[in-house]
Structure 1
Amino acid sequence: MRRAGVHWIQEYARGVALAPPVGVGPATGSGTTITFWPDTDIFGATEHSFTALAERLRELAFLNRRLDISLTDERPSSTPRSTRFLFPGGARDFVAFLDAGAGAPVHPDVIGFEREDPRIAGTIEVALRWNDTREARLRSYANSAPTPQGGTHAVGLRDGLASAINTYARERRLLAEATPDLGADRIGDGLTAVVSVKLDRPEFSGVTLGTLDGAAVRTGVAETVRAHLGTWLRRHPEQAAAVIGRILGKRSPEE
């Protein structure tokens, strides 16, 4: 670790510090370097997969836009290789990456927004775009960890999408008064979306921590999506027409 002009070293074994940090000389800048060797008594496999590590580190770089990550394989038995991950666009870049090869985008812009919400003691970041496929791709994260079973942030995303789309469609009289609101499943067709929340006190259900809890998170995400997506739709009428037309199953909502 480099801090306040000093290079510090500390060694651990199975999560326990073997000794206090020791200053070993001067240092410039700041940061922490972790050298890790897997314990064969703990891990079933100790051979690391470059592909698996790269996938996870790429994901972390997408979710933390100022994070610059480099991965180098220096194993004697492997072909030397190195890669770097840095994505200034954050979740927007993540959606564009997930969308690559998935089909033609319905609208060119990746819609993205970020908001601090004191009610959840954290931040909300969302990015999304529709394409001309039928598949929905939704990735959800809490404190940069994937939540495979979703949770309140994913439900809040769907709530906000349905509210913003239906409000806009009715304002523009694209839905008849007697027509029911468009459902979240229909709105989600062809949608690629990432929702990431960073919370001081996250709550999870299940032993695997794969589902995020917290009613305030659902409300906060829903309100954020409704407000920001609604504003985007009104400011980009041509792209909004393409989105509504895609959801209604027409080339344009006027057809």
Structure 2
Amino acid sequence: MGTVIGSGTTITFWPDAGIFGATEFSFDGLEERFRELAFLNQGLEISLTDLRRLDESHSVRLHFPGGMRDFVDFLDGHTAAHAPTETIAFEREDPRMAGEMDIAFRWCSCPDERVQSFANSRPTIGGTHMVGFRNGTAAAVTAYAREQGLLTPTDPDIGADRIGAGLTAVVSVKLDHPEFEGSTRGVLGNAEVRDCVEQAVQDHLGRWLNEDPERAAAVIDRIVQGARRD
């Protein structure tokens, strides 16, 4: 074997119609999934080329230097220009959950919630990482609102179900030993992840709120008033 530059693996896959039923690959579907992987793994570059029809071949290159921040921008789309706050993003390793978390989020002026979660780069529909994220966010908002007198002593804490209006977030964890619930394995079940994510989100969001009162007010006032109306 001679000297080579670079290395890699080539995988050739031909689906069996007797097993899969439909064997036509969707370029849009593959592009969507590869885009997720490129967002979730900062620095990763993926090229996708469709050569099934040589006269109509096309390709895309997926590479996002901003990682999770770019993911939040993508989810917001045209509403990003109307975001009252910049993106809050952080990474943290935590030996208690034998893994790391990568989280980015912000609030926009629109009422919709755009939240996605992942475990080991696979999409999830919920689980302990999302419970921890919502609980940590609610705890930080409640603590700041009480410190600033935005909640009266008789007002209840702001619940995790009250912080979603206008929220765009991506919550990703990568674990040595992920545990999933249900037949579709779409719900993360690692109990220790909840507390780790909750603490990290509360710490980071709490600092962010205290660094700039005007910036914090753009988010807190809206959440507090919404909670009182509900």
Deviation at 1:221, TM superposition (A): 0.6
Evaluate the alpha carbon distance shift between residue 41 and residue 155 of structure 1 in structure 2; reply closer, same or farther with a 3 A threshold: same
| Structure with higher RCO (Cα < 8 A, 6+ apart) | 2
The Cα of 1:77 is off from its aligned counterpart by 6.4
Q: Distance in 1 between matches of 2:3 and 2:156?
A: 68
* Greater per-residue helix proportion: 2
Equivalent-residue separation in structure 2 for 1:246 and 1:104 (angstroms): 18
Structure 1 window deviating more from structure 2 (195-204 vs 241-250): it is 241-250
2:60 alignment partner in structure 1? 83
User: How far apart, in 1, do the equivalents of 2:214 and 2:57 lie?
Assistant: 48
From 216, 220, 233, give the equivalent of 2:209: 233
Do the aligned residues in 2 keep the contact of 1:60 with 1:144 (CA within 8 Å)? Answer: yes
Distance 1:164 1:105, change over 3 A: farther
1:192 to 154, 158, 168: 168
- Structure 2 distance, partners of 1:217, 1:108, is 27
Aligned to 2:145: 169
Give the letter for the 2:30 counterpart: L
Contact 1:161 1:184 in 2 (8 A): yes
Tell me, in whole angstroms, the C-alpha distance in 2 between the residues paired with 1:28 and 1:120: 38
Q: 1:245 aligns with which of 215, 221, 224?
A: 221
Tell me the TM-score normalized by structure 2. Answer: 0.92
User: Aligned partners of 1:57 and 1:68: how far apart in 2?
Assistant: 9
- Structure (1 or 2) with the larger CA radius of gyration: 1
The separation in 2 between residues aligned to 1:131 and 1:219, in whole angstroms, is: 27
| Counterpart position of 2:135 | 159
Residue in 1 that maps onto 2:49: 72
AA aligned opposite 1:167: A
**Equivalents in 1 of 2:81, 2:67: separation in Å?**
21
Partner AA of 1:244 in structure 2: I
Q: TM-score, length-normalised on structure 1? A: 0.84
Deviations 1:73-130 (A, max 9, x none): 1112662111111112211111111011347544241111110010111001111111
Question: Counterpart of 1:117?
Answer: 94
Q: Which amino acid aligns with 2:104?
A: A
Which residue matches 2:180? 204
Matched, 1:134 2:135: no
Structure 2 segments unaligned to the other structure (5+ residues)? none
Determine if contact 2:107/2:167 at 8 Å carries over to the other structure.
yes
| Number of matched pairs | 226
Instruction: Give the residue type in structure 1 aligned to 2:115.
Output: L
Q: Deviations over 1:186-234 (max 9, x none)?
A: 2111111110000000001111101100210000110110011111111
Change in Cα spacing, 1:78 to 1:180, as seen in structure 2 (3 Å) is: farther
Asked if residue 36 in structure 1 is aligned to residue 13 in structure 2, the reply is: yes
CA offset digits 1:6-62 (Å, max 9, x no partner):
6xxxxxxxxxxxxxxxxxx54212222322222223221111111010000001111
Partner residue of 2:121? 144
More deviation, 99-108/138-147: 99-108
SS in 2 for 1:116: strand
